[in-house]
A = this chain, B = another copy of it.
């Protein structure tokens, strides 16, 4: 039976360590493809075009919108962020599990368009840890941090739309939790109910004494 890929949307508080998690998930298991978002925000030090994001200007982004080139896009803190359609659809057809790391506005749009998508929310164990991580990055002003904290509160208000919450306390454990969620998603009844119906039909034939 052909295995089709699952769309996994990973969101969570800014500073919850999603980037490191995704990197480790891709290192440990080979069934994943990471969707790279397109954005109009400027690269942070060390970020590469085509690896962390596709960095484009507003004109180019808006041209993609017109061409229906995104499965979702959103305006977040004054910048566009979008998920290019072609790569995601190609990977799913090939049976790869596609991970999107996007914020809540996008996640809910994805769930509406792809009801089988699995929404995972990553959280640090408590608020103190979260604040420490945000401060620790050292690349943002206090005002930006304060803005992010407010935003985090807003993000979590949509938590009831998510399917799973993983606590990023211990990296490897958290990676295994996400992988388990994906394996479980492949076992959902809807994915193989056809197989059971087929077996039932055959058994029905045998028990009525038909020739095998």
A162 to B121, CA, bound (A): 25
Please name 19 further chain A to chain B contacts, defined as beta carbons within 8 Å, in addition to the given A123-B199, A125-B195, sorted by A numbering: A123-B192, A123-B195, A126-B198, A126-B202, A127-B203, A127-B206, A131-B203, A146-B207, A153-B207, A159-B196, A160-B193, A164-B184, A164-B188, A165-B195, A166-B187, A177-B183, A177-B184, A177-B187, A181-B183
- Is the Cβ of B165 less than 8 Å from the Cβ of A189? yes
A167 to B187, CA, bound (A): 9
Q: List 5 A-B contacts (CB under 8 A).
A: A127-B199, A130-B199, A149-B206, A150-B203, A177-B187
Q: Is A4 an interface residue (CB 8 A)?
A: no
Residues of A in contact with B (beta carbons under 8 Å apart): 13, 120-121, 123-128, 130-131, 146, 149-150, 152-153, 156-157, 159-160, 162-167, 176-177, 179-181, 183-185, 187-189, 191-193, 195-200, 202-204, 206-207
Given contacts A180-B180, A181-B184, A206-B127, contact A199 B156 (CB under 8 A): yes
- Is the Cβ of B203 less than 8 Å from the Cβ of A187? no
| Residue numbers in B under 8 Å from A126 (CB-CB) | 198-199, 202
A112 nearest CB across to chain B (Å):
17
- Is the Cβ of B192 less than 8 Å from the Cβ of A187? no
A161 nearest CB across to chain B (Å):
9
Given contacts A165-B192, A177-B187, contact A131 B206 (CB under 8 A): yes
| Residue numbers in B under 8 Å from A13 (CB-CB) | 199, 203
Contact of A196 among B123, B150, B188 (CB under 8 A): B123
